[in-house]
Structure 1
Amino acid sequence: MGFRTIAVVMFDEIPLFEASVPIAVFGERRAGAPEFDVRAVSAEGGPVRTDAGIALSAPYGLDAVDEADLVIVPTWRHPLDRPPADDALKALREAHHRGATVVGLCLGTFVLAAAGLLDGRPAATHWRYAPLLASRYPTINVEPDVLYVDEGDVLTSAGSAGGIDLCLHLVRRTYGHRVANDIARSMVVPPHRAGGQAQYIDHPVPLPETGDPLGETLEWALRNLDRELTVDTLSSHAMMSRRTFDRRFRQATGTTPTQWLLHQRVLHAQRLLETTADPVELVARRSGFASAVALRPHFRRQLGVSPTTYRQSFGPT
């Protein structure tokens, strides 16, 4: 289901950059993109004063949360502070209960945790405060090494840039790669440092650097996904032993070469389904799968739908 009305719930003494992230992604009118109704909400009434002393005039109160399809808490003043007031937490719980998607960016995860929306779920927050989140809310499965966690109706992200990744991911999963890429291009940020759908947790992929054999190998692999690529092939290209390559790869990406390759193949198939009229069988082979039958379960596992259904929603007209 799409979303158009977005409530950005801000608290006093929050960092300015994090507060601006969802407004930067959803607030600007862009050709070809949906027109989102972004409502800046003062959770505590009156102007919102940032940690730099800048006063922001938020024209909406907590009642705007009642009408939103998407509710975003961009951050929190400090995780050691006492939780937000009960009326703010109640508004978040009621929004979730009626079916709105609720998001916590960076330290906003602590607000969702205080509202009880993360009990029994995996969640992400800034790596520096991940141990504190785990100790304060032991029922939450804290993922300290990921950019964001998508649980479908509740999503959380890591630090400042992770909030951008998560907002672009929300656009991508709802409106497709093309719209998300257009927004990323206008913001001059990477369109897809991370991705996936409900229940999928992704890791950042390092950008290739001159003289960095691992980064150059990842770039080469992305250009050759239609080939038969194995971990031995990649380690040989990087001129490393298999053991050294595995260790370096996990340190850089937080995942294994096999998992990374599989995810990149599905992403490539996703783009081909959006931008070409190639039969699904050909899309599968161009993405490195032996057949459409081999592609289908991996595609469904990551995106929740079959390749054919995805094309019907996001493919070229």
Structure 2
Amino acid sequence: MRILVLALDGLFDTGLAVTLDAMDVANHIAERAMGGQPRFDVSLVGVRKKVRSGQGFTVPVEAIDPGLTPDWIVLPAPKPGTPEQLIRQLGRPDVLDARAQLLRWHAQGVKIAASCMGTFLLAEAGLLDRCEATTTWSLAPLFRQRYPQVALDESRMLVPTDIGITAGAAMGHLDLALWLIGRASPELASMVSRYLLADLRARQAPYIIPNHLAMADPLIQRFERWARDNLKGGFSLQEAASALATSSRTLQRRCEAILGKSPLGYFQDLRVERARSLIHGSNMDVDAIAAEVGYEDGATLRTLLRKRLGRGVRELRADLR
């Protein structure tokens, strides 16, 4: 499999490193442990002669060969930053040149993979229009507002599409690399994951911090504070809207636009977060924790935790051992 990794100034050092290291480990295992040949021909390329990482290290890139048509392009993310910093980065001349190059590769039928904030560049080029995608959960509100034509689901870690694949936040680069290795050989991907002590994760949802998402909008911030003060009670959209001096329709619309979910869905996220905190930090039994977050019994809470986190109370408590 011929892979070009497209490096841009200010990229996330760890994202680049884990991508290259995973591919190198895969080739080593394929050749030494499985008795075959290296499966991946990986080159680091750039739209500029000199590229520096987010930590200031020089990245040794090759010029892009216009006559070469690779199987995959991998786009590491920029160094994590604020929404304002990311928007500025998207307008840089080298990023605009990279966007044009991605469109040329796409026209040639090359598959494109991006992780974390790198998914913004694909969306900016229009490559994710009318497609499902994921991105770093922390910037999902910005992504959703900037690219409403993309079907975003930031709860997922990996989302394959016709153009390639998008992956979630930060260490999603490793999940993406393992997925690409699995395209060549599921057995090889399994062995690489065991060597690196890393498993493919289906979801980002367990890592999302709800109050971080609320900071994207003043009304959602106020709703988040109200919700935390009212977790023990039953949820009422009309009551919440009245307390925030807005209409139920406005609150519903803002939650959908910013968070991609209903006010009740976000209220449930806060219940899950609080319940997980109590599971980790107290000796309360499940029924008592359920009462703290507004449920009559522990069975309902167990169902919610399993649905949202993919894990039950025993697994969550085992994290502390």
Band of TM-score, shorter chain: 0.5 to 0.7
* Aligned counterparts of 2:86 and 2:45: Cα–Cα separation in 1: 20
Match status 1:95 vs 2:105: yes
User: Residue 158 of structure 1 is aligned with which of 159, 164, 168?
Assistant: 168
Match status 1:187 vs 2:191: no
* Aligned counterparts of 2:128 and 2:18: Cα–Cα separation in 1: 22
Map of 1:113 onto structure 2: 123
* Aligned counterparts of 1:98 and 1:90: Cα–Cα separation in 2: 13
User: Residue 29 of structure 2 is aligned with which of 28, 31, 34?
Assistant: 31
- TM-score, scaled to structure 2: 0.59
* Aligned counterparts of 2:298 and 2:69: Cα–Cα separation in 1: 56
Map of 2:136 onto structure 1: 126
Matched residue type, 1:54: F
User: Residue 12 of structure 2 is aligned with which of 6, 15, 22?
Assistant: 15
Match status 1:70 vs 2:72: yes
Check the 8 A contact 1:204/1:253 in 2, yes or no: no
Which structure's residues are more often helix, by fraction? Answer: 2
What SS class does the counterpart of residue 171 from structure 2 fall into?
Answer: helix
Map of 2:146 onto structure 1: 136
1:1-317 paired onto structure 2 within 5 Å:
4-28=1-25, 29-32=27-30, 34-43=38-47, 45-58=48-61, 60-63=62-65, 66-77=68-79, 78-83=85-90, 85-172=95-182, 174-190=183-199, 192-194=200-202, 241-253=298-310
* Aligned counterparts of 1:137 and 1:27: Cα–Cα separation in 2: 35
Structure 1 unaligned regions, length at least 5: 195-201, 207-213, 215-239, 255-317
Matched residue type, 1:67: T
Residue-by-residue CA offset, 1:155-198 (whole Å, 9 max, x unaligned)? 111112212112212222x23431101111222222x323xxxx
* Aligned counterparts of 1:94 and 1:64: Cα–Cα separation in 2: 10
Matched residue type, 1:55: T
Map of 1:222 onto structure 2: none
Distance 1:244 1:13, change over 3 A: same
Check the 8 A contact 1:112/1:118 in 2, yes or no: yes
* Aligned counterparts of 1:250 and 1:67: Cα–Cα separation in 2: 42
* Aligned counterparts of 2:131 and 2:23: Cα–Cα separation in 1: 26
Structure 2 unaligned regions, length at least 5: 32-37, 80-84, 208-278, 280-296, 312-321
Q: Which protein is bigger by CA-based radius of gyration?
A: 2
**Cα deviation, residue 79, structure 1:** 2.2
**Cα deviation, residue 117, structure 1:** 0.6
* Aligned counterparts of 1:125 and 1:117: Cα–Cα separation in 2: 14
Distance 1:177 1:122, change over 3 A: same
Check the 8 A contact 1:7/1:64 in 2, yes or no: no
* Aligned counterparts of 1:128 and 1:92: Cα–Cα separation in 2: 25
What SS class does the counterpart of residue 72 from structure 1 fall into?
Answer: strand
What SS class does the counterpart of residue 30 from structure 1 fall into?
Answer: helix
Distance 1:82 1:103, change over 3 A: same
Matched residue type, 1:48: V
Residue-by-residue CA offset, 1:229-277 (whole Å, 9 max, x unaligned)? xxxxxxxxxxx854222111123139xxxxxxxxxxxxxxxxxxxxxxx
**Cα deviation, residue 87, structure 1:** 2.9
Aligned Cα RMSD in Å? 2.8
- TM-score, scaled to structure 1: 0.60
* Aligned counterparts of 1:65 and 1:178: Cα–Cα separation in 2: 33
* Aligned counterparts of 1:253 and 1:203: Cα–Cα separation in 2: 11
* Aligned counterparts of 1:64 and 1:73: Cα–Cα separation in 2: 18
Distance 1:41 1:64, change over 3 A: farther
What SS class does the counterpart of residue 28 from structure 2 fall into?
Answer: coil
Map of 1:298 onto structure 2: none
Check the 8 A contact 1:76/1:111 in 2, yes or no: no
Residue-by-residue CA offset, 1:190-238 (whole Å, 9 max, x unaligned)? 2x323xxxxxxx56789xxxxxxx9xxxxxxxxxxxxxxxxxxxxxxxx
**Which structure is higher in RCO with an 8 Å CA cutoff and minimum separation 6?**
2
Residue-by-residue CA offset, 1:118-165 (whole Å, 9 max, x unaligned)? 011111111111111111111111112111211143211111221211
Residue-by-residue CA offset, 1:17-54 (whole Å, 9 max, x unaligned)? 112232112134323264311110123x1232112111
